């Protein structure tokens, strides 16, 4: 909806509503999945190193997004300086792909011991 709003030059109230919904839904949904995933996905023997690696990669890419944002949005030289809808369309596609991957490839962990989970992941 944010990409749609940018394409159609929607009212500020529309944009604010859907930007806030985007942030909130990401924060309570797929944005939280990464932390649960990296805390449960690694075998006990390497869990600490795995979590450190996973969190590091997460923060490196979060920093890269922040660093390249001016390339896209700079008011004089930005690639999408006039209308940034492709950025939000890209985020939408990536979140949809993440959701599909989580649903198809990541096993349910509720009520499953770490040992049982490790056996599921090795199969």
Distance CA 3, CA 86 (A): 7
The proportion of the chain whose per-residue pLDDT surpasses 70, expressed as a percent, equals 99
| CATH code for the domain of 70 | 1.20.1250.20
pLDDT in tens, 47-57: 899 999 999 99
Q: How many CB atoms lie within 10 A of CB 5?
A: 19
Its domain, for residue 8, covers: 2-122
Q: What is the mean pLDDT of residues 14-19?
A: 94
Distance CA 102, CA 30 (A): 9
So what's the pLDDT on residue 15? 94
pLDDT in tens, 77-109: 888 888 889 988 998 898 889 889 888 887 777
Distance CA 69, CA 83 (A): 13
Total of domains in the chain: 1
SS3 46: helix
The sign of the torsion formed by the CA atoms of 116, 117, 120, 122 equals negative
């Amino acid at each position: 909806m944010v990409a749609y709003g940018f394409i159609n030059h929607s009212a500020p109230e529309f944009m604010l509503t859907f930007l806030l919904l985007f942030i909130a839904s990401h924060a309570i949904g797929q944005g939280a999945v990464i932390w649960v995933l990296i805390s449960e996905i690694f075998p006990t023997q390497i869990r600490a190193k795995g979590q450190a690696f996973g969190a590091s990669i997460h923060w490196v890419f979060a920093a890269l997004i922040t660093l390249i944002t001016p390339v896209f949005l700079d008011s004089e030289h930005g690639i999408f300086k006039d209308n940034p809808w492709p950025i939000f369309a890209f985020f939408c596609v990536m979140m949809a792909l993440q959701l599909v991957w989580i649903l198809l490839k990541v096993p349910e962990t509720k009520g499953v011991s770490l040992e049982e989970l490790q056996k599921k992941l090795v199969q």
